Amino acid sequence: MSHPSLPRILGPNLGCPEIVTLVDLHGLGFELLLAAGKSDDAPGAGWSLHAVPSFAGEGAAFDLTFDIAKGNRALPWELANDALPNEFADVSDTRRLTSTTLRSEIFGGKARFWIFRAKSSAVLPKIHFRQVGGQDRLTLYDLELRQDGECLHRVLHALCLRPPSENVRFAHITDLHVAERNDLWASEQASILPQPSAKFINFNEHARRFIRWANQQADQGKLDLVLALGDLVDFVEQGITQSQATPNNWQVLISILTGAGNEFAQDNPGLRVPVFTTLGNHDWRTNPYPPETEAEILGLSHAQAEQLDYVYRDTSEAVGKRIEDVHDRLVREGSPVLARSWWRSLVGFGLRGLTVFFNRLWSRLLAWANSMLRYVLYALIAAGVGGLGLGVGSLNLAKPAEHGFDRLWHGHPWPVLAAALVLCLLIWLFVALARNWLGTRLRRLVEGLIAIEKSLLGLEDYFLLLNPYFNYALRLEKCYFLILDTGHDCLTAQSFWDDGGKKIARLSVGDNVIGGSPDTMGFYPPNVYFPYSQIVWMERVLDCIRRSTHQKATAPRNCRVFVGLHSPPANLSAKERARADAKLATADGHAILLQRKHWWTFGGYNVCYGTINHYLSQFYYLCLGVREEKRGEDFGCGVDIALAGHAHWCQEFKLARPQDSEVEWKPAVHYGPFAKGVEQAYAAANPEHDPAPMFGPLLLQTAGCGPPSFAKHGEQFPHPPYVRLISVEPNMHISTLAQRTIP
């Protein structure tokens, strides 16, 4: 693996930009995270920083100066220690925490990381804003690092100049599932499909439609930023045998966001709004998956989807070799994505372990049988040929027998030989058909295993070109955003990362993955991909907000706190959702309490179906403003809304502390149309005088921007792109919150 060129700007970047006013750009400036070579003891000599309009004709280029000190600390300073600080002075300090992945995997230990501070030498004039109808609007700039006039590195859409406003309006989208093949199939469906489908669903086009809508909102001054929270790409590489050899789907996503390449021909001008990203489970997946596995979301039948070539970037020989390699590993070791020995689940996890055991046993028997059938076929053919030879040889016996079978044989030998030959052919045909059936099933199994394999190397372009952070926080006016990673797939059938210890026993209402939706690996414990615990990180960020705003969790809100992540903190399966919806209908649309499901009882709800795998209970308590280990003591400011996706549908939950709760208590989970309730409360109240209420914590899912969901998932969301537009007024009231679809 070749390491990236140095020096380079890591942040701000396309997926983690800096939003500033003209006054703040001159007064406070903003921090840059830069990577430089090991030999650069004092980086910055001869360097200069320049802001160039991201879109021609919008704004005007300007120079930035490097500050030489912040307080008593000389700039730049090296980020030699990635340890989590005891406290954050400001939420922007979270951008000083680089990941172990970035240091060790992406740069291979060959880079040093530095913090610079940049600012304008004077307050810039308004010519640096783009103009829409005579009004100043958000304006995006690329940043160029230069040395002696030569550009060393350029980052796209990294800086956003914002006109002064106390309103905060942002859009939440999720599950874009961008891929090169979406456009390819859409353009060639007439030649690919024997009966072209008029309703072929192109996820990329849904992203472009969202961009056109977002630009209209920004032109009207109704949108400040976008949260794009996970499953940004459907998978990383274009094929299953090449890695980083050709442009991958991260480049496709960047082109769509920036309007580069041939996007102008697709009526996509590029997003004029700053976008903040995080990773989803698909973003970790290196290889494509067969389209027939989810043909419905492409608008195709299973037979039509099988006609699509999903390994068009590979040669058939290379694909066959890769599949054969995974097959051999499956015979020897079990699933190639196993993190632990396959038989340990049998003795560790009770009924769930038995299910996992038989799942893995079937996979290995299938692979073993496919290997052994060829030898069975050879043996049967040899036996048939040998029997035929003995029969022909027996015709030359000198003295035929007088009775029984021998008389029949010597009197009429050819029918017997013909019957033996037919029997051999039938055996050969049966074995061939069985082997073909086993081979087809096994190929699909192997393709599925290849599709969900994860790779840190597949994230290289994400970290370098979009966002160098797993976790980070930001503030806009009085709104705080905590953006968290939730990691790659965690499937029971592929063995839990931590030998099955889900660490959500206090809140889980039953385990969730047996034959169902995958969990994701968040919240990470220390020393996996970054050297700190996400839960501790979240605790300290919330404490920083509390100290800055003096906000208490249950008090009227003088600020709003949003958490953005991909995998939902609460979710229901399609079957349980149907039950909950039926019960909700009898409650006249009011919220219902979801009783926990226990293994010894019937009824109840499993709100952990396909959710976060680790430390979920701690997350719930922090959202409510307490620590799990000290539930009787108030802590932090609490969380207003946690935004997620992953399931491709819209579900809404609310956490609550039970009334008259003792020191030991568990959060209650409610289900209902909470977003519409917030909007109705705003319309009915007098927000000019009423204090902004704490109506949460709300756990809100937004349906997919790219793929639809259909009846088999419960309530249908068949018309993406879906978006949740959230408007926070200057007095902290929320006026819009409900999900909508973009026509």
How is the chain split into domains, by residue range? 1-164, 338-451, 479-701
Tokens standing for residue 325? 């390699």
> How many angstroms separate the CA atoms of 123 and 632, rounded?
49
Average pLDDT over residues 645-668: 87
> How many angstroms separate the CA atoms of 542 and 270, rounded?
34
What is the distance in angstroms between the CA of the first residue and the CA of the last residue of the chain?
A: 44
To which residue do tokens 């849904």 refer?
A: 206
pLDDT (0 to 100) of residue 356 = 47
Q: Please choose, from the candidates 365, 617, 608, 574, the residue with its C-alpha nearest in 3D space to the C-alpha of residue 492.
A: 608
Q: DSSP string spanning 641-676?
A: EEEE-SSSS--EEEEEPPTT--SS---EEEES-HHH
Average pLDDT over residues 295-311: 85
> How many angstroms separate the CA atoms of 29 and 75, rounded?
13
Q: DSSP string spanning 74-125?
A: ESSEE----PPPSS-SSGGGGGG---HIIIIIISTT-EEEEEEEEE-SSPPP
pLDDT (0 to 100) of residue 705 = 97
User: 338-357 b/e with 16+ CB inside 10 Å = b?
Assistant: bebebebbeeebeebbebbb
pLDDT (0 to 100) of residue 463 = 95
pLDDT band at 454 (very low <50, low <70, confident <90, very high): confident
pLDDT (0 to 100) of residue 677 = 94
pLDDT band at 727 (very low <50, low <70, confident <90, very high): very high
> Is the model more confident about 505 or about 632?
632
Secondary structure class of 336 (helix, strand, coil):
coil
Q: Is residue 139 within 8 Å of residue 271, measured between CB atoms? A: no
pLDDT (0 to 100) of residue 504 = 36
> How many angstroms separate the CA atoms of 740 and 725, rounded?
8
> Is the model more confident about 111 or about 366?
111
Q: Is 731 exposed, middle or buried (0-12, 13-18, 19+ CB in 10 A)?
A: middle
- The phi and psi torsions of 698 (rounded to 5 degrees) equal -100, 135
Q: Which of 44-53, 73-82, 493-502, 552-561 has the lowest mean pLDDT?
A: 493-502
pLDDT at residue 496 above 70? no
pLDDT (0 to 100) of residue 408 = 47
pLDDT (0 to 100) of residue 510 = 34
pLDDT (0 to 100) of residue 397 = 47
The shares of helix, strand and coil residues in the chain, as percent rounded to the nearest 5, are 35, 20, 45
Q: Quote the Cα angle for 31-558-477, to 5°.
A: 30
DSSP label at 573? -
Most confident of 132-136, 347-351, 368-372, 405-409: 132-136
Q: Which of 241-255, 530-544, 687-701 has the lowest mean pLDDT?
A: 241-255
> Is the model more confident about 613 or about 50?
50
> Is the model more confident about 491 or about 158?
158
Average pLDDT over residues 327-343: 51
CA 237 vs CA 39, 323, 456: distances in Å: 34, 16, 12
| Residues forming a β-bridge with 116 | 32
DSSP label at 719? S
Average pLDDT over residues 507-529: 60
Average pLDDT over residues 269-294: 93
Average pLDDT over residues 457-463: 91
> How many angstroms separate the CA atoms of 254 and 252, rounded?
5
Angle between helices 249-258 and 203-219 (to 10 degrees): 30
- Measured in whole angstroms, the distance separating CA 529 from the mean position of its chain's CA atoms is 16
Q: Which of 15-19, 55-59, 601-605 has the lowest mean pLDDT?
A: 601-605
pLDDT band at 319 (very low <50, low <70, confident <90, very high): confident
pLDDT (0 to 100) of residue 114 = 94
Tokens standing for residue 322? 């890769």
pLDDT tens track for 565-620? 999 999 998 888 989 999 999 987 789 999 887 655 567 888 888 888 788 889 99
- The phi and psi torsions of 608 (rounded to 5 degrees) equal -110, 25
Q: Is residue 43 within 8 Å of residue 114, measured between CB atoms? A: yes
Strands 519-520 and 489-490: antiparallel
The pLDDT > 70 percentage for the chain reads 77
Q: DSSP string spanning 180-239?
A: HHHHHHHHHHHHH-SS--TT---HHHHHHHHHHHHHHHHHTT---EEEEES--BS-S-SS
Q: Is the dihedral of CA 538, 539, 544, 549 positive or negative?
A: positive
